[in-house]
Amino acid sequence: MLTYALGLGYRGEITEIRPGDPNATEKPFELEYDFTRPEFFDWSSKTGRLDLPLPSFHLPEADADKEQSSKPIEFGPPSDITYRLKLSLPPKYQTRLPVPITVTRDYAEYHSSYKLEGDSLIAERTLRVRQSEIPGGRAQDYLAFLNSTQADARQFVSVKTDLAVTPSFPDSMKLEELMKAAGAAEDNENYPLAEELLKRVLAKEPKHKLAHGRLGYVLLQQGKIDDATAALREQTKINPFDDSAYKVLAQVLWAQKKYDEAEAAFRKQIEVTPLDESAHGSLGRLLIDRRKYKEAVPELEQAISLDPDEAPGYEINLGQAYANLGQTSKAIEAFDRAIKLSHEPRTLNDVAYNLSVNNLQLDKAQQYAEEAVTGMATNLRDAKLEHLTTDDLDHVKSLAAYWDTLGWIHF
């Protein structure tokens, strides 16, 4: 049955297959089955999205640029296919359903419907093909039809609950299943649950090749610094060539102000994984904190090459290093590159602050600081007191900091 499920594009198991009577040709053939997929959704999360596990309709591709005389678009014999899904949801979840659509042409029609019956979601999608082919000159018309069906297939169900849900994990779960569940909990920032699951892994296999490192990370996220340090040190003993444990350990040691050990751990990570995207940048920032500006420069330059997404921040750090080395022209060049890469309020503010504390281009510093304040104020324009989000609160905190930067420049 698993092979059948995979053939439909599922990752799970289909059981209890109930076929209709193939001899009853006067009515459509029906096939019912039960579908089970472990870890389909992390129900410990308060919010999330569910992609509906329905098979896809196989419709031909077409080229809108083909000339009128191109060959026909072939559908095959006329057909009528309906997929129905009944998905059981946990109680006390608020659900936002997909939008039903109907698209009708002379050659085919498509319908979808979505509704709730108690704690069950009922989804239905129907495709009726009336003609075996249409002229190639109707490609644009057909592509609009095809795009509508594909857009409907991409719709998902949003779920939300105000309750703290604690999932149940049986003792019989295998190590791989526990690790996957812990990963899902991490992704949803449910670090206490991830910690519990990883400790269960280690109870079964104390020398597990990955679990100590993962445990160290989730402990760090909870502020359990001493326990995180112990777990990460154990990980480096079990696997001295771990591809991430040293840099996480370095972050923990940095938080404990054990700067020499943190620097050594970052350098060990780079020795093990020379092209690590974040280790060079983190080491560069640590070296700036330690006023080792000359050593910070090559690390930050490598970080900019390795991790373009973080390049604006690294360019600002590079500018800091050059400014403290007295190389003002290189510092200004780095700050300018940061602005070109990102015009976000945070980048504008950080460049403005660093220009001002180094008494460089104060006119530009004021311009950037004013833009940062305006940009963050714009982000808060639509915030509502009755529906404040954590992002809104972060924006308020940032806005205060940006005003502080602007005030410092005027001072």
| CA 52, 53, 59, 64 torsion-angle sign | positive
Three-state SS at 33? strand
Whether 74 and 134 have beta carbons less than 8 Å apart is answered as no
Architecture of domain 277-342: Alpha Horseshoe (1.25)
Rounded Cα distance, 198 and 411, in Å: 52
Three-state SS at 30? coil
For residue 298, what pLDDT band results from cuts at 50, 70 and 90?
Answer: very high
Rounded Cα distance, 390 and 395, in Å: 9
Whether 152 and 88 have beta carbons less than 8 Å apart is answered as no
* pLDDT tens string 205-241: 999 999 999 999 999 999 999 999 999 999 999 999 9
Residue type, 133: E
Whether 349 and 322 have beta carbons less than 8 Å apart is answered as no
Whether 184 and 214 have beta carbons less than 8 Å apart is answered as no
Instruction: Evaluate if residue 264 carries a pLDDT over 60.
Output: yes
Region of poorest pLDDT, from 3-12, 242-251, 277-286, 394-403: 3-12
How many CB atoms are closer than 10 A to CB 380? 13
Instruction: Evaluate if residue 87 carries a pLDDT over 90.
Output: no
Instruction: Evaluate if residue 171 carries a pLDDT over 80.
Output: no
For residue 65, what pLDDT band results from cuts at 50, 70 and 90?
Answer: low
Instruction: Write down the CATH superfamily of domain 168-269.
Output: Tetratricopeptide repeat domain (1.25.40.10)
Angle at 242 between CA 241 and CA 244, to 5 degrees: 135
- Cβ contacts of 346 within 8 Å, gap of 6 or more: 372, 398
Rounded Cα distance, 236 and 224, in Å: 19
* pLDDT tens string 16-58: 778 888 888 877 777 777 766 655 665 556 677 788 888 888 8
CATH topology for 54-160 is: Jelly Rolls (2.60.120)
